[in-house]
Amino acid sequence: MTDPWKILGKERRLTPEIRRLIEERYGQRGVKALEIVDEGRVKRYLDFFVVVGSSDEYVVEEEFCTCSDALFRRGECSHVIAVRIASLTGQFEEFPLWYQDIWKKENREA
């Protein structure tokens, strides 16, 4: 099977072929990751990537994600895949802030 990451690393954009390869390799998780990127739900802070999910925001750092899918199942979750796509294509919203400071403030107010 052709490696979508090698092609995406060279192309730096999502082509129909790369989309197909991601969907073939990751199935529904790949489809969901592509939707996340297409909808602009990947944010890059100074310390973490954050993905806006359907019910919460998830912190992603390298191959780690705070979602329950990543914590309790095997394989990469859609959020990790989305961040990988977004980081190679530049399809993320950038914030010059530390996410941990935002998180701390939200938890103090709660």
Q: Which two tokens stand for residue 108?
A: 């103090």
Residue 107, pLDDT above cutoff 80: no
Residue in the structure block whose two tokens are 């859609």: 78
pTM: 0.90
Is residue 96's pLDDT more than 70? yes
- pLDDT tens for residues 14-66? 999 999 999 999 999 999 999 999 999 999 999 999 999 888 999 999 889 99
Q: Give the mean pLDDT of 82-102.
A: 95
